[in-house]
Structure 1
């Protein structure tokens, strides 16, 4: 039996749980065991049970889980998800702020099982095996956007070619004559940060230039962090003539540090960012940056959820290319500066 023919009493008989327990599971109550919830939810889904008066085509929604929504970067990602969702009349998008770059809050999994979204996009965060099992048991697919660690073979993930982006940024500065190139990485525990740094070191190695530890600082992908780390770099007796900031937000902090140190960009300090968020082109001067296609990445993540839920074949891991966007924040060294290298 399916659809309106199935009653809660049928579900109770099929699962062996009481009618009261079945009702609690249906209404998202928390005072039942996870085992009971999983069993009952599966039976409800497989029987295509519908509440009395329920629409046959209910609204579906994608839940996007951010660490925070306070940055331009996060809004760029959200716009990409919305762009894809708009193509489907019955799919909408909600957002959740939860946890850190590594993992959502511990109580998030219980909340999402009550909300029962069509699918979930995690920004950076990875999940425990237990959380993955719960989502899979409840038919909730998920995608990790720019995973902080190496995704497993069973995960769905979307990211940019961060290593190539690091190479592009550093080669550009080297081609302009810079050899004292500082870098402000992202958090060391994040895979994208390590990949961008590896691209930086690879480009230096191509030219036989050793990495100077004094020119390497770890940031946190924020403007405040970029300002603090750039200030430290610029205090070096032989300061860098160029800085590769691991994100555009960090590059904005470099601009402020340069201003406070009386340094003109690009005449006395060249700066390269990473991301190409919408405001980068409107800085003074406009920021040279590595573009990772955030809108396309986010749209791809949403499309993977939809294809998975609708049983269409899809790739498990998508890596999109990065490109260098040259603007006004970089220029070649003058002869007098080159002689001091």
Structure 2
């Protein structure tokens, strides 16, 4: 006989069947809720299971509650979204949390706007531990609904912040816009266009302010006709690039507020027989996979998108655990990555 005490054996289906005096298949039918068993037999099996402390495999799995968070995007297929997604899911795996990915479709957005309480209560009823929303516009009513439901919310690069206490994760957009413009100035450019994001986007406004600050610091007049706004998209970049390059005094360089916008600007230059960077220098923002696949490879301001996703997930779990955050807003550092899309303007040494 072995020394010491051993842990009690977990009750098995065979042990329940033996204690009830039935076959294992009959015991299995009872424990799985099948109706084709006599009432007296069912009662014996259920009593034996209770006395032995038997839990079915399905019951044991259910006893370990699955932690689930929701990750919502306006645009699920953009390179930006995929970078953020990788960070959120990696952090979820490390924390033992399942991440359910959703696109905030027009119908969902309409429901969220018309009845935010019902929308948020539906998320909570579905067992969500919290919600991360990426690059979306939120109303104060929606944020209030999350508070009333006690459902933690973290936003990444929100288009707006309806309240100062909304927990958000972003990057140092101002310093990114500053460094992008300073790089172009250092090459000798003085007529620098800005192909920005939506005017309502807080991150886009911060990049614009960085651009303006760099020009003003260098004593370069900010030309209103060179400051344009549109979606963070290729078509918007193409449209803004076309307007900039068709102006009476076109820029020699453009700072675009996203990688996809920058590629649209480059296409606008190509259609006009201009070469990048010989005739036009272009800087993007994000450093998604598009930046290195572009021809020429894109000079960018890199924001750490996977890290932003990781921080957002960890912050959400801290909120769900009832922790108090030191700050409602976290900004991760950006930095300039110089590649092949920038050069001195023609005529400069």
Which whole-Å deviations, capped at 9, do the CAs of 1:282-341 have from their partners, x for residues lacking one? 211100000111111111000001112123443321011110000000011232x69xxx
Provide closer, same or farther for how the CA distance between residues 239 and 267 of structure 1 changes in structure 2, counting only shifts above 3 A: same
Q: C-alpha displacement at 1:73, in angstroms?
A: 0.9
- Is 1:139 the counterpart of 2:145? The answer is no
| Residue number in structure 1 paired with 2:92 | 85
Aligned to 2:218: 207
Q: Indicate conservation of the 8 Å contact 1:157/1:318, yes or no.
A: yes
Alpha-carbon separation, structure 2, partners of 1:310 and 1:231: 50
Give matches, 1:142-221, under 5 Å.
142-150=153-161, 152-221=163-232
Larger Rg: 2
| 2:246 alignment counterpart | 235
Alpha carbons 2:89, 2:99 under 8 Å: kept: yes
Report what 1:95 is aligned to: 101
After superposition, give the CA deviation of every residue in 1:226-282 in whole Å (9 maximum; x if it has no partner): 011101111112211101111000011112111111111111110000011122112
**Separation (CA, whole Å) in 2 of partners of 1:292 and 1:172:** 16
**Does 2:328 match 1:321?**
no
Aligned CA-pair RMSD: 2.1
Partner SS for 1:152: coil
> 2:155 is paired with a residue of what secondary structure?
strand
User: Residues 21-60 of structure 1: matches in 2 within 5 Å?
Assistant: 53=59, 55-60=62-67
Q: Which residue of 1 aligns with 2:343?
A: 331
Is 1:76 the equivalent of 2:83?
A: yes
> Are the aligned partners of 1:116 and 1:140 in contact in 2 as well (CA < 8 Å)?
no
Q: Is 1:288 equivalent to 2:288 in the alignment? A: no
State TM-score, norm by structure 1.
Answer: 0.78
CA–CA distance in structure 2, aligned partners of residues 55 and 181 of structure 1: 60
> 1:244·1:273 contact (CA, 8 Å) conserved in 2?
yes
Question: Structure 1 residues 217 and 154 mapped into 2: Cα distance closer, same or farther (>3 Å)?
Answer: closer
Q: For structure 2, which runs of at least 5 residues remain unmatched after alignment? A: 1-57, 113-118
Match of 2:111 among 106, 110, 114: 106
Q: Which stretch of the first structure deviates more once superposed, 200-209 or 110-119?
A: 110-119
